[in-house]
Each structure stands twice: as structure tokens, then as C-alpha cells.
């Protein structure tokens, strides 16, 4: 079958160890290039088990044209539809307000192809589509029939079981289980520094996982914990105070650092980078005070703060430039209307924004997508406690609103620590 691709697929299996069964399942479902695609199928499993990464890399290897949408980023129908259209039409600036417009453009796309071409729409985190409207997931389930193209397929990705959605119970599914300890060790071996011996790094991984597996099995978080603590493990060897064979001494030296890391799981805390934030009542904003003994924000909290600033000072209608990666070329000059709008936003100060818009911008500006866990969302509450964000009103618990209290100078300082160019995303 598609195994005729030979060395490419052998390399693919090697790149994603412990997932041969799931890759073979994708072979079976998608079949050969001239075979009809299934209308849709469901990929599910816990966060950070390789669902999205393996699927997208597989589609690239098969050279299948696809549109990938993170449903957290698309909190309106229009953003969702236009994100799909812009990717399938190679960046075309097409308005697509409702589902029927989407069906029309997909039919148009099919009619323009002279040869049979496969199209796949990947909807990641479909549990967030429930907030848009009931039955919206079912509409994508039958999208192939609406478009009348047997080479169009929709793939749902979720950490929730398919049975929890109001869709056909006979839906094809691919399950990605959590990694075992042995599988995690095999995967984490790819993170070994070049100067480190294999036996030494194997001992380090066994020591680290014996502690960290009690708290998390998230592969992304595990990679961060492993990489951030290796210097502490290797330090006695580097200083010549301990040999590579003295496993017990290396364990005793690194154990306090392991236990300290357990307090910052899912926060991305980097203790070496330090900044202090203070509230200035005269400016009515939080300013950054650079000093030798200061408090650092966690890695993800910095992105939340940047996202909050963009949500406060950018109009919602300009979010499209964030969520759609191919939104076209920007105009070099501002129109009079845009100049007035920019001045108005600056003079009136930060505007309130809902939580779903904050999460959407957060995921849009991050290159490495983090799993949306309770631990991650609680960092928003931490920013409120630090008076970097303000919660507006206490009546609506389900859809809270916030406002950013940090000025541009402080936000630029935070963005520089991440290598993030915030001016690129501000209304200009």
C-alpha cells in the first residue's frame, strides 16, 4: 500500500517511537491516493500524547492538502470558516460568515481542480465548538455529503471520548493512549545533549521519572522538567566532585532540585530570569522595575499577559490577522479612519474582553501549543491577584471578563524575554 514510500515511512516510524499502532491505523483509514476518503474520523487521547503532531506530519508526508484549525482560537463561526478557506485556497482573502458559505466555497474549490485531489480539514479541540452552537459538530460530520466530494474528509481531535459528543456512534476512531514509563524514557532519549554519555543520561531519566511521574505524564511538561534539571544533575561531574558511576551521589545532589520543580509544574517557571512588577497608582498601570532581586512570571503567564494586552488594545475585528496566518499583505499606510480608531483606543485605555477571546489570542501567538489544563488556566487568576489583570464584574461566572492593567513599556519588556515582537500584532 502506501508503504511503497519506503525509507520515508521508516524514518517516520523512527521519528515517532511507540506510536506504530496509531500510524498503521492512519494508513488503513486514509488508504491509497486514488481511494475515497471517509467522511470523517475521530482522533482522541489525553493531552500531549502525539495526536496532533503525528497526524499533521503524516498528512505532510502523504502530501495531502489540509487545513488545520485549533478550535480554541476560533471563538466565532467566521473565524473558523475563514481559517479553513484561507488555508485550502492558499491565503485567499474570502469572507465566509456561515456554514453554507463554507459549503459553497468548498464546492467551488472542488470544481476548479482538473485532477482528483484530496482535502482534509483538521479540527483540533472540537469540545470548544460546543460553545458556538448545538449541532455544529454534526454539521462537519456530514460535510462530505454537503459538498458532494468523496475526496474531502474532516478529522476531529479531542481529549474527550467520542461517545460524549452528539454524533454517529459508528464513527471511525484512533485512540492515542498515555505513554508508559518505558515509552517516555525511549522518547526522552532524543533530548540527550551531544556531550552526555548514553548510560549517564539513562540513569538521569530513570531518576527524574521516578519523581515526576507522580505528578504528570504530559510529554511536553516532562521535556521541560527534564531539560531544566539536567544541569543540576551534571554539575558535580562537570566540577570533578563526583564520577559518572556514582549514581547515589548524583541522586542525592539533584533530588532537592527535583522536589523544587514539582512546585512549578505546568507553569514554565524559569528561576534564572527575573523581573519585578509594581503598580503605579498615578499611571493607573503596572510598571516593570528591573532589579537584582526580583520576581519572575512563569513562561505561560507571560504569554497570557501579552494576549491580555492585545485583547485590551486591539479591536475584536482585527483578531483575524492573529488567527489567520495567511491574512494577506498589510497596507503600508493607514487610512484616516484607521488613524482615528488607533488614537481612540489609546486615549480610552484598555477595554474589557471575555475569557474565550483571551484564550484564542493566547493560542494564536504561541508557537508551541500548550495543553489547556486547569493548571494553565489558573495562571490567569494569578495575574489578577498580582494586579496585572483586573476582573470586570462578578455576575457572569461562565463568561468572565478581564482588563489588562499593564502599560506598553512593561509589556515590551516581558515580550523581549520571550523574543516576541508585540508591535507586529498591535493595530498599526
Q: Write down the pLDDT at residue 60.
A: 94
Q: Write down the pLDDT at residue 332.
A: 45
Q: Write down the pLDDT at residue 335.
A: 56
Which grid coordinates belong to 221?
511538561
Residue 424 CA to residue 367 CA, distance in Å, equals: 15
- In sequence order, the 6+-apart residues with CB closer than 8 A to the CB of 126 are 71, 137, 156, 157, 158, 165
C-alpha 367 chain-centroid distance: 7
pLDDT by residue (tens digit) across 207-231?
Answer: 999 999 988 888 988 998 999 999 9
User: What distance separates the 2 farthest-apart alpha carbons in the chain?
Assistant: 71
Residue 384 CA to residue 177 CA, distance in Å, equals: 36
Residues of the chain with pLDDT under 70: 1-7, 91, 114, 130-134, 168-169, 266-296, 321-348, 368-370, 374, 394-398, 427-428
Flag whether the pTM goes above 0.85.
no
Q: Write down the pLDDT at residue 338.
A: 54
Unique residue bearing C-alpha cell 481559517: 83
Q: Write down the pLDDT at residue 1.
A: 43
Q: Write down the pLDDT at residue 171.
A: 84
Q: Write down the pLDDT at residue 180.
A: 93
Q: Write down the pLDDT at residue 197.
A: 92
Q: Write down the pLDDT at residue 253.
A: 92
pLDDT by residue (tens digit) across 69-126?
Answer: 998 888 788 889 989 999 988 767 788 888 999 999 999 888 877 677 899 999 999 9
Residue 270 CA to residue 231 CA, distance in Å, equals: 13
CA distances for 329 relative to 93, 262, 326, 332, angstroms: 10, 45, 8, 9
Neighbours of 252 (CB within 10 A): 12
Residue 82 CA to residue 61 CA, distance in Å, equals: 25
Neighbouring C-alpha atoms within 13 Å toward the C-beta of 278? 8
Q: What is the DSSP letter of 4?
A: G
H/E element, 287: strand 285-289
Neighbouring C-alpha atoms within 13 Å toward the C-beta of 253? 20
Neighbours of 210 (CB within 10 A): 12
Amino acid at each position: 500500500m502506501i508503504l511503497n514510500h519506503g525509507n520515508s515511512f521508516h524514518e517516520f516510524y523512527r521519528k515517532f517511537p511507540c506510536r506504530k499502532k496509531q500510524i498503521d491505523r492512519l494508513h488503513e483509514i486514509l488508504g491509497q491516493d486514488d481511494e475515497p476518503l471517509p467522511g470523517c474520523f475521530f482522533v482522541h487521547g489525553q493531552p500531549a500524547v502525539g495526536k496532533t503532531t503525528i497526524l499533521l506530519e503524516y498528512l505532510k508526508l502523504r502530501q495531502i492538502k489540509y487545513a488545520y484549525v485549533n478550535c480554541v482560537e476560533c471563538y466565532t463561526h467566521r473565524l473558523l470558516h475563514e481559517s479553513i478557506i484561507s488555508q485550502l485556497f492558499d491565503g485567499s482573502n474570502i469572507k465566509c460568515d456561515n456554514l453554507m458559505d463554507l459549503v459553497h466555497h468548498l464546492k467551488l474549490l472542488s470544481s476548479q481542480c482538473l485532477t482528483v485531489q484530496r482535502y482534509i480539514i483538521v479540527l483540533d479541540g472540537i469540545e470548544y465548538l460546543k460553545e458556538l452552537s448545538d449541532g455544529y459538530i454534526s454539521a462537519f460530520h456530514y460535510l462530505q455529503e454537503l459538498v458532494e466530494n468523496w475526496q474531502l474528509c474532516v478529522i476531529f481531535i479531542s481529549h474527550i471520548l467520542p461517545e460524549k459528543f452528539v454524533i454517529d456512534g459508528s464513527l471511525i476512531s484512533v485512540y492515542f493512549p498515555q505513554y508508559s514509563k518505558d515509552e517516555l524514557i525511549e522518547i526522552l532519549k532524543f533530548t540527550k545533549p551531544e556531550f552526555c554519555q548514553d548510560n549517564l543520561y539513562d540513569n538521569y531519566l530513570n531518576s527524574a521519572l521516578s519523581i515526576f511521574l507522580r505528578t504528570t505524564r504530559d510529554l511536553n511538561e516532562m521535556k521541560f522538567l527534564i531539560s531544566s534539571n539536567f544541569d543540576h544533575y551534571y554539575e558535580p561531574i562537570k566540577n570533578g566532585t563526583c564520577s559518572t558511576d556514582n549514581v547515589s551521589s548524583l541522586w542525592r545532589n539533584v533530588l532537592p532540585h527535583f522536589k523544587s520543580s514539582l512546585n512549578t509544574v505546568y507553569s514554565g517557571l524559569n528561576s534564572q530570569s527575573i523581573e519585578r512588577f509594581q503598580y503605579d497608582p498615578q499611571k493607573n498601570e503596572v510598571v516593570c522595575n528591573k532589579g537584582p532581586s526580583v520576581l519572575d512570571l512563569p513562561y505561560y503567564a507571560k504569554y497570557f499577559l501579552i494576549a491580555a494586552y492585545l485583547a485590551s488594545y486591539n479591536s475584536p475585528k482585527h483578531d483575524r490577522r492573529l488567527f489567520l496566518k495567511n491574512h494577506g499583505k498589510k497596507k503600508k499606510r493607514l487610512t484616516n479612519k484607521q488613524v482615528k480608531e488607533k488614537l481612540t483606543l489609546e486615549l480610552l485605555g484598555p477595554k474589557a474582553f471575555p475569557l474565550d477571546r483571551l484564550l484564542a489570542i493566547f493560542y494564536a501567538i504561541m508557537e508551541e501549543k500548550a495543553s489547556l489544563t486547569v493548571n494553565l488556566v489558573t495562571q490567569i487568576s494569578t495575574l489578577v491577584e498580582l494586579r496585572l489583570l483586573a476582573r470586570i464584574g462578578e455576575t457572569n461566572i461562565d463568561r468572565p471578563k478581564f482588563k489588562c492593567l499593564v502599560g506598553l513599556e512593561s509589556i515590551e519588556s516581558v515580550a523581549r524575554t520571550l523574543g516576541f515582537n508585540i508591535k507586529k500584532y498591535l493595530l498599526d
